Amino acid sequence: MKLPIAVVVLAAGAGTRMKSALPKVLHPLAGWPMVRHVLDNARRLKPARIVGVVAPGASDVAAAFAPHAPWSSASARHRPRDQAALAALEGHRGPVLVVYADAPLITTATLQRLVEACRKAHAAVGVLGLWRAIRRPTAG
């Protein structure tokens, strides 16, 4: 029997590099906020839960999760974000995928491969994100 999956979408960043009053995950991409693309791809996996981790006071970001009921948002107000996500997942049995809300180009197929890899390895958590290397020009 396959255990159900859950998806945690991290959307608590300040997005200060965007230099915009609009939170980064709400910036439109192809007519929809970035976070909606991520949620749509996650929803296609038919997870038992999708949990959004949002920053305190980010009601506009939390509202972006609302149409995806029965999903819930966990505020990172009084504890670290990872603890907020764990609290929202209490009682869940099965793999948990962790994705970033500002990664709209990660496809459902990629997420499905991560689910399969978690199941094969009996891993409790699979994290999928992007890493940005900072390269400094060399003198010369």
Distance CA 122, CA 63 (A): 34
Name the 3-class secondary structure at 126.
Answer: strand
Measured in degrees and rounded to the nearest 5, phi and psi for residue 61 equal -70, -45
Exactly one of 17, 132, 135, 136 is catalytic; name it: 17
Residues 6+ away with beta carbon under 8 Å from 79:
87
Asked about 17 being catalytic, the answer comes back as yes
By annotation, the residues acting in catalysis are 17
